[in-house]
């Protein structure tokens, strides 16, 4: 007796019924089919392994050109441009990076303005904002250590005026005239 793959006991009579001739018929394809399979296999091997040290040419599939940047709504882009132009007219210096526009006054950042697909995100200093405007912002925890720790998002034209007001508050907070020690010293009059 022998055990099969399925761990069943097969009698000798059943083992004789499974002769090599019967087994090849069931597991091997017909001669013509086998010849066709070999041709297909040879073609695949030739494509994979180039002969005599030649490099194989790979076919590049032309993918449609997709711009990774998502298009910005025209109204949002116009608000962004107007906001930056207004702050530059007030006296801010602008520095542009690939991700955002930085507004600077007296060597201090007053805001980082991000142009996004469906809105504008502004990072502001919470110390420069009024109590009313702080309530409209998302405040970042102190553990982050960010100077620009208030986040305000603009998604509609109604929020634009409030955002410009916040930027102006940041400008006034940082645009203080530099005073020297002589100007601050109190005048003492002698007898």
d(CA 94, CA 104): 6
Instruction: Give the residue extent of every domain in the chain.
Output: 2-44, 74-174
pLDDT of 21 over the 90 cut:
no
- Structure tokens, 60: 């590049």
67's tokens: 């711009």
pLDDT digits (tens, 9 = 90+) for 134-143: 999 999 998 8
> For residue 167, what pLDDT band results from cuts at 50, 70 and 90?
very high
Q: Is the pLDDT of residue 182 over 90?
A: no
Residue 104 is predicted with a pLDDT of 92
Q: What is the pLDDT of residue 150?
A: 93
pLDDT of 84-129, one tens digit each? 999 999 999 999 988 899 999 988 899 999 999 889 999 999 999 9
- The token pair that represents 16 in the structure block: 């004789």
Q: What is the pLDDT of residue 43?
A: 55
What is the Cα–Cα distance from 36 to 21, expressed in whole angstroms? 22
Q: Which residues lie across from 113 on neighbouring strands?
A: 101, 122
Paired with 119 in beta bridges are: 116
Distance in angstroms (rounded) separating the CA atoms of residues 104 and 111? 7
CATH of 74-174, picked from 1.10.10, 3.40.50, 1.10.1740, 3.90.1150, is 3.90.1150
Residues 34 and 28 sit within 8 Å (Cβ to Cβ): yes
Range name among 33-37, 120-124, 151-155, 163-167 with the lowest pLDDT average: 33-37
90 near 168, Cβ under 8 Å? yes
Q: What's the confidence (pLDDT) of residue 73? A: 85
Tens of pLDDT, residues 24-63 = 555 555 666 666 666 555 555 555 555 566 665 655 555 5
């Amino acid at each position: 007796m022998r055990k099969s793959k399925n761990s069943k006991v097969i009698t000798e009579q059943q083992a004789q019924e499974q002769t090599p001739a019967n087994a090849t018929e069931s597991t091997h394809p017909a001669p013509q089919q086998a010849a066709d399979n070999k041709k297909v296999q040879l073609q695949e091997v030739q494509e994979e392994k180039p002969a005599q040290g030649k490099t194989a040419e790979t076919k590049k599939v032309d993918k449609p050109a997709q711009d990774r940047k998502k298009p910005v709504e025209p109204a949002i882009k116009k608000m962004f441009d107007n906001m930056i132009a207004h702050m530059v007219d007030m006296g801010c210096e602008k520095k542009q990076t690939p991700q955002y526009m930085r507004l600077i006054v007296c060597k201090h950042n007053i805001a980082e303005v991000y142009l996004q697909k469906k809105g504008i995100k502004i990072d502001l200093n919470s110390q420069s904002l009024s109590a009313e405007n702080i309530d409209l912002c998302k405040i970042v925890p102190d553990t982050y250590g960010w100077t620009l720790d208030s986040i305000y998002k603009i998604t509609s034209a109604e929020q634009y005026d409030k955002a410009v007001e916040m930027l102006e508050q940041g400008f006034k907070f940082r645009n203080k005239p530099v005073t020297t020690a002589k100007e601050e010293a109190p005048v003492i009059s002698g007898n």
